[in-house]
Structure 1
């Protein structure tokens, strides 16, 4: 009998999961009773006129009388969905529903997924700005670069609620926290390492920007067309500040002597032959999902002194955005922040890095099927907290709220 194909089995189970009635992953559940005539008169006419008049007189009252303060829109045009590319807004809907599910599961935030069939960036911006009044925050998702940069910047300027592109900043926060811990374990300092980022899309540029903020001076990037340098005429305004490599560099030269390699690209983007040219005790983050840029087992064999992280849940050191975006928004919503700004992102980085050094409760070990003597102690195979750690909300959201207040963007 032929062995079952694991990929086909996963596909079958995933389709069954999504098709099970009711189809999809979301439903709307009323938060107030509506079982009597009195309930109906309060929920709708004539009683609903009272909060309408209050909000008309003072828009901030919407936070008191509606769900706005705990409601996030997960918005996408479907142009860069996971590793599947430009599949369109409708095909991207399962991912957006999944994002909304994670908001609720990890931070008790209600989220609506909104898929936009937009003509261009300006149309997309106008649509999101038009629906924004009903939400406490906007999570931009799976929008291809460089349009994602244009969209986020325009909406942050126009709106007085947090607008956050998770593929950029969520990824950057988690990578920075994990890297800070990994470098300490390797006996290296952020300000004295060479970082090579393979992939110069939304995530790659945001990671580079975050690392510069943290004091990394040697950050180099590459994309499908080669290493970013000043001689390239095909770079956008967002790429140009990072085009600092020598013009004669190829990917092998960029990787040679690197202390840190971060892959935010596709399977095979980090050549195995380059691993032997890395600095001693390197840090290798191969984050493409489900197939990393280089096989972690091969990386371990060729670089036995490396600290390795991936985006996979079945391997140590999972760099997963669910460690960031729910708790960033939770902290921002709790203080009614006008935006999620750099001090709030840095606070999240610090909180995640520090939490990984704390003793891990038995309930977290149990969630991952581990005993008290199995792993999950700060070290080369535990540099970042696990997504099911219940302390994340207190640590990360709390730090974000404090940073929002101290930086002047909190309304309360």
Structure 2
């Protein structure tokens, strides 16, 4: 049985990967009176007088909503909210398993930006954080921006920022292994959707070097027609030399390739044209180039999104710890500085004497990572004055 059929059978067997467990046993009349009526009226009255007490008297201080509209689910695309539910349940299971953060899946049956924003804003008082997931670009950019303005809790689109944080962590260690110089890198990102744009911004903010984004039409340049808002925004800070051309053109003498696009778009010859390339083909399940081909083309370091190759670059190293840290200090938001500190924290989990081309990123199963990331995020929240406890 292959992994897909085994997973399908597991889902049939489990009939759902998560469940609600009561934190209070209800066995006596007194238990009932304390947990429900009449005693429950008192915490309600306290919260009505002081909103902040809702984080102390309910579970919302440790509760994240994992929300999708089903329009960009894994590599499957727009399959709808119901079909996205297994992924949202999986995300919730990972929150609990890796960071002991409770999470609840919510799938919204709408593609209208206003409806999605209003729906999430209206339910936000039930949660301590909002994790947006698998929402297609460019709509995802506006949804996140507006929710950050409307909500008093952290809003984080993991497909954007979780991916960016973990890619940067892997790249920090890859440049150590290869001896490349921070700030001097030529970085090519193929795929100018939510993940690609967020990775580009994050790497530019961290000072890695010149980032060149490519989409189906080739290199994106400031002034190009037909760019969506996210692409237009990043065009002002990327592609410093205003280059035009194909993906193959962009990869000539490039130091880094990051793929968040489609299988088979990169050839061994393209990798050979790079400068001892760091190659991260992250399309799943089939990457832009298979690792053996990339290595045959002269790649110095290769990382993918898959668990059956070295250097699995996986968001599970990011989102549990980011939310755990933000929730622990009741941070108002997740800032750029938090994201950067998280990248460094993940990278530092591999001691320098253990760094090799096949070991640049912690295993996604390393549960110590979440606490390290959480501390980094919480520390920045305190330093920036946005922690509320």
Q: TM-score range by the shorter chain?
A: over 0.9
Once the 2 structures are TM-superposed, how far is the Cα of residue 406 of structure 1 from its aligned partner? 0.5
Q: Which residue of 2 aligns with 1:392?
A: 369
When normalised by structure 2's length, the TM-score is: 0.96
Given candidates 195, 200, 203, the residue that maps to 2:187 is 195
Contact 2:219 2:244 (C-alpha < 8 Å) held by counterparts: no
What is the root-mean-square deviation of aligned Cα atoms in Å? Answer: 1.4
2:56 aligns with: 64
SS of equivalent to 2:289: coil
Matched, 1:317 2:294: no
2:264 and 2:92 mapped to 1: Cα distance? 31
Matched residues in 1 for 2:266 and 2:307: separation? Answer: 20
Q: Residue 279 of structure 2 corresponds to which residue in structure 1?
A: 284
**Are residues 1:122 and 2:114 paired?**
yes
- 1:140: which partner in 2? 132
Deviations 1:30-58 (A, max 9, x none): 01111111101111100100100000000
How far apart are the structure 1 equivalents of 2:189 and 2:5? 35
In the alignment, the residues of structure 1 paired with residue 43 and residue 364 of structure 2 have an alpha-carbon distance, to the nearest angstrom, of 38
TM-score under structure 1 normalisation? 0.91
Paired residues, number: 385
Q: Please give the alpha-carbon distance, in whole angstroms, between the structure 2 residues aligned to 1:230 and 1:329.
A: 35
- The separation in 2 between residues aligned to 1:340 and 1:297, in whole angstroms, is 38
Matched, 1:269 2:265: yes
How far has the Cα of 1:395 moved from its partner?
1.4
Task: Give the superposition deviation at 1:12.
Answer: 2.1
Deviations 1:133-162 (A, max 9, x none): 000000000000000000000000111100
Preserved CA contact (<8 Å) 2:318 2:370: no
Deviation of 1:62 after TM superposition, in Å, equals 0.8
1:19 correspondence with 2:12: yes
Contact 2:187 2:211 (8 Å CA) reproduced: yes
Say whether residues 1:73 and 2:40 are aligned partners. Answer: no
CA deviation profile, 1:341-381 (whole Å, cap 9, x unmatched): 1111111111111111278xxxxxxxxxxxxxxxxx32111
Q: 1:119: Cα distance to partner?
A: 4.3
**What are the ranges of 5 or more consecutive residues in structure 2 without an aligned counterpart?**
none
Measure, in 1, the Cα distance between the counterparts of 2:149 and 2:234. 24
* Corresponding residue number in structure 2 for 1:254: 250
Gaps of 5+ in 1: 1-7, 360-376
